[in-house]
Amino acid sequence: MSADTTDWSIGDSHTEVLVENLTRSQIVMYAGASGDFSPIHTDEVYAIEVAGYPSVFAHGMLTMALTSRMLTDWLGAGSLRTYGGRFLSQVWPGDTLTATAEVVAYRAVDHAEIDLEITTTNQHDAAVFRATATAVVGNVSTDIPARNEQ
């Protein structure tokens, strides 16, 4: 299925592994990119002894970013019109994350749009992030023949 057509149906879905065996290095690299060096994400001793967590854990926005990359890889860069979600659980070093997006609505006026519900899970099939998005997936004026062409 191509993101530039109107061949979309409610219930269509796409699943992709976002990251396998997330490493502490990847978490620290994200800290550098985001500027968020909170010690609960980067300092194992602090995370365990001060904050009381079993380890450092990934930034919620890292999970959101990995999930959004899956959407833009599938639908095309620039296709997302809205995107937002809720963080449900920590993501730990060693986790493997998989996201599934499902089409829940389709509209075609001047352009074709789909609404999506997205769930990102870890290797235990526990949801760690849930989101919704709206994406433009085609230009109806070029997807549907003009009246005189039918």
| Distance from C-alpha of 9 to C-alpha of 69, rounded to nearest angstrom | 22
Matching residue, tokens 């019109």? 81
What does pTM read for this prediction?
Answer: 0.86
Dump pLDDT digits (tens) for 107-143. 987 889 999 999 999 999 999 999 999 999 976 554 4
User: Does the pLDDT value for residue 49 go beyond 90?
Assistant: yes
* List of domains in the chain: 13-22+58-149 (3.10.129.10)
CA distance 23 to 3: 32
